[in-house]
Amino acid sequence: MKSLKITLAIVCTMVFIGCSMKEEQQLNELYVGTYTQGDSEGIYRFQFNSRTGELSLKELAAPLNNPSYIKFSPDKKKLYAVMETDKFEDGTGGVMAFDLVDGTLKEKGPKANVGAHPCHIAISDDGKQLAVSSYSGGSVSLFALNDSGALLPDPQFIDLKILDTLKTSHAHSTEFTPDGLFIADLGLDAVKRYSYNGKEFIPHEQTSLDLPDGAGPRHFTFGQNRRFLYVINELNSTITVFEKTGKEYKMLETKTTLADDFKGESFCADIHLSPDGKFLYGSNRGEQSIVIFKVDDETGKLTLVGREDVRGDWPRNFTIDPSGQFLLVANQKSDNITVFKRDAITGVLTYLHETSLPSPVCLEFME
């Protein structure tokens, strides 16, 4: 009988430990970049439960001026943040590197200046290069990163303003790929391409993927191992699909992101594919919605599934959690983050709840 009690105690202990480990594995940390003209103080951290979709334990992770875009390094040990301003140093914006130590952000080296109003950060897969897009500056600053992830001095500076005398450059986002660097320029109505020659980035053979005048390409994402490129256009509220043929991308189709009966102004913001690549999501500021498209596996073309009210005002960045089960939206003007359950079969979103936070702009999971 005594041995039976001991055995039962061991089993119960193991079950308890197993449940605790399972619960711990369901928790992930979410970092949020904000605008700080109001009540926000910088970058915030939440705990996210991937079983329930709940956000909890809000705390200020790092005080910083207008950290409107943040990005983790590939190894998740460093976090980089822009300071979206033109007053950082002589009409420039700034970028800051942090070490992540037990959930706390520790400044890593000095802040660096970039073009005015930086709004996006991209990091190469090997963690050795970092690109900052500057909206008002019409430029991209390309930093080399040392082995510890610190920003090295003397970044390469790509001035996009010199590319067009009629339009004004507004660099909005970049991405490193094996084919080089892609830059969405909202003002030039184009996605610009650059190749790396081992020392610096130079114009690619296909220098530009041109979009209609007034489209305003803002963000983009690649599908099917970069066979397809999906660009969300802020100003005319559309998504344009490009297909790669040889070394070049050719325009395939363009879809509106707005409902046929919507009246009023609306501006697109962010775009993401589901983890399995079967659904494409985009945010509409004005219609206050997330539009949902099904992606054709063979052609890459889009079929409208529907749209979901974000339960907030001015949805900026949104993200899909690491489990793929939830979609979270940063609503800048209504000071809230809304959480939706995502149906992996249909792509449809179901509203769950919201969390208050002043002027949230960018959502970044640590995992």
Q: How many residues are listed for the chain in this entry?
A: 367
267 pLDDT band, cuts 50/70/90, is: very high
- Rounded to the nearest integer, the mean pLDDT of the chain is 94
pLDDT value at residue 257? 98
Given a contact cutoff of 8 angstroms between Cβ atoms, the answer to whether 281 and 272 are in contact is: yes
pTM, two decimals, is: 0.93
Continuous H helices in the chain: 2-25
Given a contact cutoff of 8 angstroms between Cβ atoms, the answer to whether 40 and 358 are in contact is: yes
Given a contact cutoff of 8 angstroms between Cβ atoms, the answer to whether 273 and 279 are in contact is: yes
Residues ≥6 apart with Cβ < 8 Å to 315 = 269, 270, 283, 284, 285, 288, 289, 290, 329, 330, 331, 332
Q: Which of 274, 210, 213 is nearest to 242 (CA)?
A: 210
CA distance 222 to 177: 10
Place of tokens 């130590």: 101
Is the model's pLDDT at 23 over the cut of 70?
no
Angle 115-118-121 (CA atoms, 0-180°, nearest 5)?
Answer: 115
Is the model's pLDDT at 181 over the cut of 60?
yes
- pLDDT digit string (tens) for 70-110? 999 999 999 999 999 999 998 999 999 999 998 789 999 88
pLDDT value at residue 136? 98
Q: At residue 194, what is the residue type?
A: Y
pLDDT value at residue 69? 98
pLDDT value at residue 25? 55
CA distance 188 to 170: 7
Given a contact cutoff of 8 angstroms between Cβ atoms, the answer to whether 159 and 168 are in contact is: no
